[in-house]
Amino acid sequence: MTAWRASVSATALLAILLLLSAAPMPAGAQPEAEAAVADPFEPVNRRIFAFNEWFDHWVLEPGAMVWGALFPHSFHLSLRSAVDNARTPLVLVSDLLQGKPRSAALDLSRFVVNSTLGIGGLFDPATHFGLERNDEDLGQTFGVWGIPAGPYLVIPLFGASSPRDLVGTIAEAVPQSFILSWVVNLAANTADIVNRRTLLLETIREERELAFDLYAAVRNAYVYRRRNQVADAREDENATADDFYYFDDEEEVD
Amino acid sequence: MRRWGALGLTLVAVGIASGQGRAASEPGPRGVIQETVDQVLAVLNDPVLSKPERLLAIEAIAYRRFDFRSMSKQVLARNWKRFSEAQKEEFQREFKDYLAYTYGARLNRFDQQQVEIIGERTGPRGHVTVLTKIVGGENSGATVDYVLIDREGRWRIFDVIVEGIGFVSNYRDQFRQVLGRGGPDHLLAELRKKNHSGSPEATPAAPAGGRSSR
């Protein structure tokens, strides 16, 4: 049970990330057969997406606005930094599982520097010393191992995911649920989610305005961003298929 | 002989430097991206400009560098054929404004960063992808790739891929949905709505500036 709660929070985090890249109105859109991204559950996904949007509109966004008014921007940044720092051991595990000892060493140094000099991660002196943040997680690790993402999923309150990423997210939430009591867990995760949403208030508002089909935009952003992260970890030469673009000489193709 | 050789080289160099507009002097894909990035950074780091002014300035850069005709075709892909000539014209016009605005709005979020060109790769059909990375600031490490194509001796951008998320693929998916709902006329109406919703202080010089950014 605790794992589930924790995983919910972790997923919500992901959901926010997703929102970052998307934006407008799913006005009763018709699912289309010819989609670039595998989305066999599109009708169900769209419903859940609409629910998540509703939840964001009435709960998360207003909460984030209050949070934004209560604390200064520097506080929001520091809190996010501290949470990222606390999560570094998980990143380190993924570094190791992907067979990247150098990244693991780097993340370990980051963790030590930021936990001490950075006062528990509230600041990020490591980056100033040239120790740049790695962005790894279990879902990516599974991808590097060659496990396919599977169909696109929208999880209630969590947002965009896939079977592979969902398993990764839940597995990553387990240790946290053992270390902290569920009350602390819930409070910490809620604060983190609201805080991140605060930092994205303008971005998400703007992206919502820009999008023609928010659902498709978020899905596309999620799927391609994850693909990119996995390709990066494998050091693939080219993440984009060669036949992706149409050129003049073949534009009459149908 | 050596002196003449050196003089010859100098003359060639001067010729290249002053021969603006001639194909031989046009920068390659990497050079185009370097120039574009330098211009965008100059705008982002200009302390005098307000946010809306920065947005307009970045839009102006996009107007010069992007190949909007290619982008329009790429984005509509197979649906391009469903558009009449007039609809194609209108789509290109409206999409150009929309794209320039979008590019400006997204880059406008970044502050005090550096951009490093980390590589270049040539696709099988002659398009070149220039890979860049953002260094410093809140988005440090983010990758921004530019895909360029040679248009009569000039390298023009026709896709921008931020963290793996490409403009072309993103809008291709979205437009496919919109087209599925109502065909070309519906999509054109939606585009017009996006471009003309916003503050009344539209600037004629940059039509997309008519939208309020905040």
Mutation pick from B129, B163, B168, B173 vs chain A, by most beta carbons of A within 10 Å, is: B173
Predicted pLDDT of residue B24: 53
Q: What is the reported pTM?
A: 0.77
Pairwise CA distance, residues A77 & A63, whole Å? 17
Contacts of B141 (CB under 8 A, 6+ apart): A132, A133, A135, B133, B134, B135
- Contact check, Cβ <8 Å, B177/A30: yes
pLDDT at A70 over 70: yes
User: For the residues A56-80, what does the mean pLDDT come to?
Assistant: 95
pLDDT at A161 over 50: yes
Higher pLDDT, A5 or A227: A227
- Contact check, Cβ <8 Å, A228/B166: no
Kindly state whether B189 is in contact with chain A, defined as any CB-CB distance less than 8 angstroms.
no
- Contact check, Cβ <8 Å, A212/B170: no
**B2 to chain A, closest Cα gap in Å:** 43
> What is each CA distance from B196 to B54, B68, B170, B190, B211, in whole angstroms?
20, 19, 22, 10, 6
A9-13, A143-147, B197-201, B202-206: the lowest-pLDDT one: B202-206
Kindly state whether B147 is in contact with chain A, defined as any CB-CB distance less than 8 angstroms.
yes
Mutation pick from B146, B174, B193, B211 vs chain A, by most beta carbons of A within 10 Å, is: B174
For chain A, give the percent of residues with pLDDT over 70: 78
Q: Cβ–Cβ contacts within 10 Å for residue B93, how many?
A: 17
Predicted pLDDT of residue A235: 58
Highest mean pLDDT among A53-62, A228-237, B52-61: A53-62
Yes or no: say if B184 and B22 are a contact pair by the CB < 8 Å rule. no
Yes or no: say if A217 and A211 are a contact pair by the CB < 8 Å rule. yes
For A67-97, give the secondary structure using H, E and C: HHHHCCHHHHHHHHHHHHHHCHHHHHHHHHH
Q: By C-alpha distance, which of B97, B108, B118, B153 is closest to B33? A: B118
User: For the residues B57-83, what does the mean pLDDT come to?
Assistant: 89
pLDDT in tens, B104-144: 888 777 766 788 999 998 887 788 999 998 887 777 788 88
Q: What sign does the CA torsion over A76, A82, A86, A90 have?
A: positive
Show the CA angle centred on residue B115, arms to residues B173 and A218, nearest 5°. 20
Interface confidence (ipTM) of the complex:
0.74
pLDDT in tens, A85-99: 999 999 999 999 999
Q: By C-alpha distance, which of B172, B183, B181, B191 is closest to B83? A: B183
pLDDT at A249 over 70: no
**Which domains does chain B possess?**
2-197 (3.10.450.710)
List of chain A residues whose C-beta atoms are within 8 Å of the C-beta of residue B125: 242, 245, 247
- Contact check, Cβ <8 Å, B73/A251: yes
Predicted pLDDT of residue B2: 47
User: For the residues A220-232, what does the mean pLDDT come to?
Assistant: 89
Predicted pLDDT of residue A241: 55
Show the CA angle centred on residue B169, arms to residues A60 and B166, nearest 5°. 75
- Contact check, Cβ <8 Å, B123/A245: yes
pLDDT in tens, B142-175: 888 999 999 888 999 989 998 888 999 899 989 9
pLDDT in tens, B1-53: 444 455 454 444 444 444 444 445 678 999 999 999 999 889 888 888 888 88
Residue B143 forms beta bridges with which residues? B133
The strand pair at B143-151 and A159-161 is best described as unpaired
Residue B134 forms beta bridges with which residues? B115
User: For the residues A189-199, what does the mean pLDDT come to?
Assistant: 94
Q: Which two tokens stand for residue A226?
A: 């994850």
pLDDT at A179 over 90: no
> What is each CA distance from B13 to B5, B22, B24, B25, in whole angstroms?
12, 14, 11, 10
**B16 to chain A, closest Cα gap in Å:** 30
Average pLDDT, chain A: 82
| Three-state DSSP state, B190 | helix
Yes or no: say if B113 and B44 are a contact pair by the CB < 8 Å rule. yes
Yes or no: say if B213 and B203 are a contact pair by the CB < 8 Å rule. no
Predicted pLDDT of residue A58: 97
Q: What is the b/e burial string over A167-201, where b = at least 16 CB atoms within 10 angstroms of the residue's CB?
A: bbbbbbbeebbeebeeeebbebbeebbbbbbbbbe
| Strands (DSSP E) found in B6-142 | 114-122, 128-135
- Contact check, Cβ <8 Å, A212/B174: yes
Mutation pick from A133, A224, A236, A249 vs chain B, by most beta carbons of B within 10 Å, is: A224
CB pairs under 8 A between A and B: 110
Predicted pLDDT of residue B49: 87
Nearest to A220 among B173, B197, B213 (CB): B173
Predicted pLDDT of residue B117: 92
Residue of A nearest to B135 (CA): A132
pLDDT at A181 over 50: yes
The residue length of chain A stands at: 254
Yes or no: say if B105 and B55 are a contact pair by the CB < 8 Å rule. yes
A71-80, A106-115, A242-251, B108-117: the lowest-pLDDT one: A242-251
Chain centroid to CA A197: 12
Predicted pLDDT of residue A236: 54
Nearest to B177 among A29, A132, A202 (CB): A29
pLDDT at A14 over 60: no
pLDDT at A26 over 80: no
List of chain B residues whose C-beta atoms are within 8 Å of the C-beta of residue A30: 177, 180-181
Contacts of A105 (CB under 8 A, 6+ apart): none
The residue length of chain B stands at: 214
List of chain B residues whose C-beta atoms are within 8 Å of the C-beta of residue A232: 143
Q: By C-alpha distance, which of A17, A5, A1, A2 is closest to A139? A: A17
**A181 to chain B, closest Cα gap in Å:** 32
Predicted pLDDT of residue B143: 86
Show the CA angle centred on residue A68, arms to residues A67 and A70, nearest 5°. 65
